[in-house]
Each structure stands twice: as structure tokens, then as C-alpha cells.
């Protein structure tokens, strides 16, 4: 099965189309580039084994590996896995909701670049991430600047429709609480917002 993001990962251009005709451009060029200053905020939170969920072309996975931090990228896209390996990172083709190696043992998980939207329901995703983490593990999430949780169906190019979500920083605490997580850190760079959650 192809991932809706496959062609975006090759062309470095990704527009999410919503059912109401709205189009939201995602920063696909950043995914393919070297880590930038905003990324550094997330990378600096990772000191032990890290699972990069929805790793795309693997800029974060490969950078952590280069720093001597054990890391694994998982992605449903074959293209993402291939590109991550080409960059020197370890990656497996896995659905975050399916079987993932090291379940219950990861020290850190990353949901970068809007990946909190995976599956279309951040509470369900965060509960799943909690299962993947060690009891004292933490998840670093990139969130949107706004105050709301938005959910909907989107497509990329001619892909089938799939559920996605956008989580605003202002809605984070309530969502974290529902997933039995609490905010332990927050940071920002330019218009990008990051936060870290631990079990409550």
C-alpha cells in the first residue's frame, strides 16, 4: 500500500487538501533539509533511545544517530524508510498503531512537523505513544500556534482521503490530560512551537 505522503517526500512539496476545498501547504522542503534551529530544540530533548514517529526522509533520526543517540525512525511510507536509511539513520516501515520494536522501552518519542495529526485523533495517538514509551519516557511534540484542536479528512494530490488533526498549543493541556500525560517543557522558535509530555 502506498502512503499518501510518498510523492511529497520525493518532490519536496506537500499540500493537504481538506474536504471544504481549503489547501494547507506543509513544509516538505524542511523535511528533506538538514536540521534547522527549531529542530535543534527538539533534538536537544533527546538524550537516550528515541523513536521518531512518522520520520519522513529522516533528518531527525539521522542527526540523532550522528550524535551517538540510539534512534529509530518509523514510517508507513517505503520512500521515507529508504530516504532515512540513505541518510544514515535506522528506519522501519511500521504503522505507529501496529507492532513497533521496543514497545514500552523508548526513552523519547518525537512527533515533529505536525505528526500529532497522524490518525486524526491526538488523544488516541498520545495514548498509543504512552504504550511505546518507558514509564519515565517523554514525547516531544510540535504543535500549532493557535488555541484549538481541529480534525478533518485530507488528501495529498490524488491520494485517498485520510483523517488528520492540527493541535494548537492552547488546546494541548486538555488533550494531554485526556491521554494521562502532563506538560513538562515548552519552547518556541520563530512560529514553531514545541512541547514535551510525560506520564502524569
Binding residues vs ligand SAM (CB under 6 A): 3, 5, 26, 31, 53-57, 59-60, 74-77, 80, 95-97, 112-115, 118-119
Q: Closer to ligand SAM at the Cβ: 97 or 182?
A: 97
91-93 vs 71-75, strand pairing mode = parallel
Q: Measured from the CB of residue 73, what is the shortest distance to ligand SAM in angstroms?
A: 9
Q: Measured from the CB of residue 62, what is the shortest distance to ligand SAM in angstroms?
A: 10
Q: Measured from the CB of residue 66, what is the shortest distance to ligand SAM in angstroms?
A: 15
Q: Measured from the CB of residue 132, what is the shortest distance to ligand SAM in angstroms?
A: 11
For the four alpha carbons of 112, 195, 123 and 172, in that order, the dihedral sign comes to: negative
Q: Measured from the CB of residue 3, what is the shortest distance to ligand SAM in angstroms?
A: 4
Residue, CB closest to ligand SAM: 56
Beta-bridge partner residues of 110? 52, 140
- Alpha-carbon span 2 to 80, nearest angstrom: 11
8-state DSSP, 94: -
Total residues belonging to the chain: 200
Q: Closer to ligand SAM at the Cβ: 104 or 163?
A: 163
Write the burial class of residue 135 (CB in 10 Å: 0-12 exposed, 13-18 middle, 19+ buried). Answer: exposed
Q: Closer to ligand SAM at the Cβ: 49 or 119?
A: 119
Q: Closer to ligand SAM at the Cβ: 155 or 173?
A: 155
110 close to 162: Cβ distance less than 8 angstroms = no
Residues with Cβ within 8 Å of 10's Cβ and at least 6 positions away in sequence, in order, are: 79
Q: Closer to ligand SAM at the Cβ: 80 or 169?
A: 80
Amino acid at each position: 500500500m502506498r502512503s499518501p505522503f510518498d510523492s511529497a517526500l520525493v518532490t519536496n512539496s506537500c499540500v493537504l487538501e481538506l474536504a471544504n476545498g481549503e489547501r494547507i501547504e506543509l513544509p516538505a522542503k524542511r523535511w528533506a533539509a538538514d536540521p534547522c534551529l527549531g529542530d535543534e530544540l527538539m533534538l536537544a530533548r533527546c538524550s537516550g533511545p528515541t523513536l521518531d514517529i512518522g520520520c519522513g526522509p529522516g533528518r531527525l533520526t539521522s542527526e540523532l544517530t550522528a550524535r551517538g543517540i540510539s534512534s529509530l525512525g518509523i514510517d508507513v511510507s517505503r520512500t521515507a524508510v529508504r530516504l532515512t536509511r540513505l541518510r544514515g539513520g535506522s528506519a522501519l516501515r511500521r504503522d505507529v498503531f501496529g507492532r513497533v520494536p521496543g514497545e514500552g522501552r523508548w526513552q523519547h518519542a518525537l512527533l515533529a512537523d505536525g505528526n500529532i495529526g497522524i490518525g486524526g485523533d491526538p488523544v488516541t495517538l498520545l495514548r498509543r505513544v504512552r504504550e511505546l514509551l518507558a514509564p519515565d519516557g517523554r514525547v516531544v511534540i510540535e504543535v500549532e500556534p493557535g488555541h484549538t484542536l481541529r480534525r478533518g479528512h485530507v488528501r495529498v494530490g490524488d491520494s485517498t482521503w485520510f483523517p488528520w488533526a492540527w493541535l494548537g498549543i492552547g488546546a494541548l493541556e486538555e488533550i494531554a490530560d485526556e491521554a494521562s500525560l502532563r506538560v513538562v517543557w515548552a519552547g518556541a522558535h520563530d512560529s514553531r512551537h514545541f512541547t514535551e509530555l510525560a506520564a502524569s
